[in-house]
Copies of this chain bind each other. A is one copy, B any other.
Amino acid sequence: MYIADETWPELGDYLEDESIALVPLGSTEQHGPHLPLATDHIIAEAYAREAAERTGYLCTPTINIGVSPHHRQFHGTMWVDAPTFRNYVESFTRNLAYHGIDRVIYVNAHGGNVEHLREVGRHLRDEEVLYAIEWMWNDSIPDLVDDLFDQNGPHGGPKETAMIQHLRPELVREDRLEDARDGGLKSIDEAETTKFGARTFYDAADNTDNGVLGDQTDATAEKGEQMFEEATAQLVKLCEWLDSQDFQDLMPKKHV
């Protein structure tokens, strides 16, 4: 059920029975010469809507702009500062609780949002407002992702390329896949991202000239579809697990 397509009386029926919401979050940021800036929010929205459709749980509109200052050197990257992002997400999530929502899944497709969503989730749980957790599609199918690609790259690599080939093929610049690979950092192992145990880089531009990593040339829409099916199945299971929990078990344990 997509909240924005419904009327308030219809939502009243849902909220009488259910208290779960799926919130898709992504970014609008550079993804190399071959993928659109929308990459992350397209992926997040696709997973959240599909899982909502299969389960009947509620899905909210997508948060399209996230914490992406590390991509700012590339044209068009949009971002909000980290404290602002946290406050924004916390505010609308907290307000969802006014309607009876008491468990939220942040269906996230941007690595730069992860820690911030966890911080928000912790804060809302510490205050016993509701229980919110972050879920990222590739974390749910790590072995499959590893099997499918030679160099899957954490940003703009074949993993994300295949997802967009499956979801929005018209947005992939297929003729630039080789350029993407050759102009970027093919293997993360080649990058000197740490020195003596310290992570020394802050920006994507510190490691890659065109903004992406990995070898995009072995991405296909079929691989994208396979990942989408398997990760969606994981998300559906997560929804079901969450629904089956007693609310008090999701809240913080008492002091020893």
Contact = CB atoms under 8 A, between A and B. Distances in A.
B122 A99 contact: no
A206 B5 contact: no
20 contacts: A4-B37, A5-B38, A6-B76, A11-B76, A15-B75, A64-B64, A70-B122, A73-B254, A74-B256, A79-B91, A80-B91, A88-B88, A121-B202, A122-B202, A133-B198, A136-B197, A196-B241, A197-B231, A203-B252, A205-B253
A119 B8 contact: no
Contact of A122 (B62, B69, B140): B69
Interface residues of A, number: 94
A32 interface: yes
Contacts of A217: none
A158 interface: no
A146 to B, nearest CB: 14
A51 to B, nearest CB: 11
B119 A171 contact: no
A191 interface: no
Interface in A45-96: 60-65, 69-70, 72-85, 87-88, 91-92, 95-96
B76 A3 contact: yes
B73 A196 contact: no
B197 A234 contact: yes
A149 to B, nearest CB: 18
Contact of A78 (B37, B64, B92): B92
A37 B61 CA distance: 10
B141 A15 contact: no
